Amino acid sequence: MKYSGKTHKFGNDINTDEIIPARYLNTTDKAELAKYCMEDVDKTFAAKVRPGEIIVAGKNFGCGSSREHAPIAIKASGVSCVIAESFARIFFRNSINIGLPIIESKEASEKIKNGDSVSVDTAQGVIKNLKTKECYKIEKYPPFMQKIVSAGGLINSIKKGSKK
């Protein structure tokens, strides 16, 4: 898959309380959740993010609560993928399960600056910084996870499996 867009940069330990505060968890309306995406870390994010743009963050992105509302809010806000040095594990599996592309890269996380335009090519395993012309290598998902991602998420993957 290929994604490209302007980046929004965040720091370390961005937690799910910041991504989607608990006060908004009394709904399953995805568009409604998107309105408050990242509110407690950047109040202006939901209004300024454009479809296809990319979140870049530091270590342990998505730590805290298991709320799937977090990757759902990010996906529904139009963000095409999230690049971080590392992800908290429940956020990681939730993203795989709902089909939000997430990419671990220490180098990209350190070197990409807020507002840089980048392109991501998961098949080639590379992130390009269109501003600085730098390239950062990325690892492919393990085959087990790739199966879920290719099916478009866990539910589709299970449905495919049961039809075999």
| Interface residue list for another protein (CB under 8 A) | 13, 15, 17-18, 21-23, 25-28, 40-41, 59-60, 63-69, 72, 86, 88-90, 93-94, 97-98, 142, 144-145, 148, 153-155, 158-159
The closest of 78, 82, 98, 68 to 34, measured between CA atoms, is: 78
Token digits of residue 94: 């939730």
Q: How far apart are CA 139 and CA 157, in angstroms?
A: 22
Q: How far apart are CA 97 and CA 91, in angstroms?
A: 10
Q: How far is the CB of 130 from another protein (least distance, A)?
A: 30
Closer to another protein by Cβ: residue 28 or 114: 28
Closer to another protein by Cβ: residue 50 or 140: 140
Residue appearing with tokens 């395993």: 125
Q: How far is the CB of 24 from another protein (least distance, A)?
A: 10
Q: How far is the CB of 118 from another protein (least distance, A)?
A: 24
Closer to another protein by Cβ: residue 25 or 126: 25
Closer to another protein by Cβ: residue 18 or 53: 18
Q: How far is the CB of 119 from another protein (least distance, A)?
A: 28
Question: How far, CA to CA in Å, does 158 sit from each of 105, 143, 161?
Answer: 29, 15, 5
Closer to another protein by Cβ: residue 11 or 52: 11
Residue appearing with tokens 């507002």: 115
Contact 56, 50 (CB under 8 A): no
